[in-house]
Amino acid sequence: MTNGFEFWDYAVFVAYAVLILGVGLWVSRDKEGHEKNAEDYFLASKSLPWWAIGTSLIAANISAEQFIGMSGSGFALGLAIASYEWMAAITLIIVGKYFLPIFIEKGLYTIPEFVEKRFSTNLKTILAVFWIALYVFVNLASVLYLGGLAIETIMGVDMMYAVIGLALFAAAYSLYGGLSAVAWTDVIQVVFLILGGLATTYLALNTVSGGEGMLAGFSKVLDAAPEKFHMILEEFNSDGSTNANYLNLPGIWVLVGGLWVANIYYWGFNQYIIQRTLAAKSLKESQKGILLAAGLKIVIPLIVVIPGIAAYVMVNDPSIMAGLGEAGQLSIPTSGQADKAYPWLLQFLPTGLKGVAFAALAAAIVSSLASMLNSTSTIFTMDIYKQYINKNANDKTTVNVGRISAAVALIIAVIMAPLLGGIDQAFQFIQEWTGVVSPGILAVFILGLFWKKTTNNAAIWGALLSIPIALALKYIPIEALKPWMHQMGLTAVLTMLVIIIMSHLQNKGADDEKAINLKADGLFKTTPLFNIGSIVICIITATLYCLFW
């Protein structure tokens, strides 16, 4: 077979698919004498334990964007792309400490619902439309595209068929079961994800070392491509030429600039991420889940970035390529097709492990699709349908509308996915265009949460003006603004200034009547376990940056 798959590879993958569908449908079943209500469908009956929350957060986050996109960026620019993972670990701690207590205390279903309680229904609707458009046209479409690209590269299946297959797989259990099906299957998905990722990393490093093992391979990769192991990129190369990768990861500004906007928006105010924490048994349980996810983020680059760097060393070493034989000549990744790095590596795995690695990739794709679908339907149903179309909808109608809206979103994303073809480093593309919307949303939330004088009108104008501000900064021909992270950071600052000035003009310095009481007893108090775990994660992160500066 041209794809190199043998019986045991197919057997492993089929077993994975049956397991996921079986568990998803089993946990989705209606209990005797109880029909699924809105809380069951959208918040998993508020029953998730910490370990399910932590693993589900990672499964929702790690998708084709990471396995395919981040490996591609590792191939193209190196370990610096791991800033998305390591800074996310710190961001998760901030979210657990300062955001979750407020969200859970207010009993939220959706993030836009917080906007309604703090500001107004009008602003909630504006942001709900923003999010639905972003999820369908950027997130869902890009995950389907990257997943289709991987299956096309590995299996030789036509892109469109691959996209449809992934969509149907995700829909098979998530549309019926809701968040409960998504979260509990995510626990299994993460096991496949980590095992398959580690297998691919081991194979790549072992191949580089000529069979001497993973550590020897890592040492050789370090020696062969030292330029790929700098977390802070320089603007200019040693020969004086401009470093093209600096535009995506602009040096020290990654640590002190716009990437914080992307991270805090994504982990703090992104429905398909935060929805898991809202479904916790309690705040403490939710914070323990956040801590688990932060710890896992530290190790994720080992399975999504290092393989890309190893692939770069392999294709640039004639002796390694000669040892790979004819298989090594198939779909070789190049600087212009970096996203082929991970699928290219999978073909060299031995029988059985190839099926595990492919199951890991499918798990990453399907779990993220299911998460995005569930959150898209939650926002549409709770923030648009129940608000404007049928205010008196009962639980049965609400759940059915959730299923229908998820199906419609999926169909649109399937149509959009192939249109993304030809994009190199798709991970960076996703971050860049999400960055047009996220700074305005971040500004509204940060000031709404922590500045009592923020008014509704100021927040609405800030959210609306943030888009033209972001687009203006994107297309203004100023050299210093070319890195999109600079544009994102500056958009957030300018949007906050708009909100602050308008709030002062409207309220004349008085607190807004819907302001949050931040001095409530024990609001931000966390357990010794959370505090100690947070300190350990911060120390590990700082050490990694010092080692690979």
Measured torsion, CA atoms of residues 276, 278, 283, 289, in degrees rounded to the nearest 10: 10
The burial class, CB within 10 Å (0-12 / 13-18 / 19+), for 333 is: buried
Q: What pLDDT does residue 408 have?
A: 93
d(CA 159, CA 276): 31
Q: What pLDDT does residue 355 have?
A: 82
6: amino acid identity, one letter: E
Q: What is the DSSP string of 243-256?
A: -GGGGTS-TTHHHH
d(CA 347, CA 356): 12
Give yes or no for a contact between 74 and 81, defined as CB atoms under 8 angstroms apart. Answer: yes
Q: What pLDDT does residue 272 have?
A: 76
Q: What pLDDT does residue 294 have?
A: 95
Give yes or no for a contact between 109 and 399, defined as CB atoms under 8 angstroms apart. Answer: no
**What stretches of 110-202 adopt beta strand conformation (E)?**
none
Q: What pLDDT does residue 2 have?
A: 44
Q: What pLDDT does residue 1 have?
A: 36
Residue among 168, 149, 163 nearest 17 (CA): 168
pTM as predicted = 0.85
Dihedral sign for Cα 143, 149, 153, 157, please: positive
Q: How many Cβ atoms are within 10 Å of 151's Cβ, its own excluded?
A: 25
78: amino acid identity, one letter: G
Q: What is the DSSP string of 444-500?
A: HHHHHHH-TT--HHHHHHHHHHHHHHHHHHHHS--GGG-SHHHHHHHHHHHHHHHHH
Q: What pLDDT does residue 94 have?
A: 95
* Residue 220: its H or E element: helix 214-224
Q: Mean pLDDT for each 10-residue chunk of the chain (549 residues)?
A: 69 86 77 61 72 86 75 88 92 94 83 87 87 85 83 80 88 75 78 83 89 90 90 79 80 86 89 82 91 93 90 86 69 74 81 80 80 86 88 85 90 87 60 79 92 92 91 82 85 95 86 85 88 96 92
3-class secondary structure, 421: coil
3-class secondary structure, 236: strand
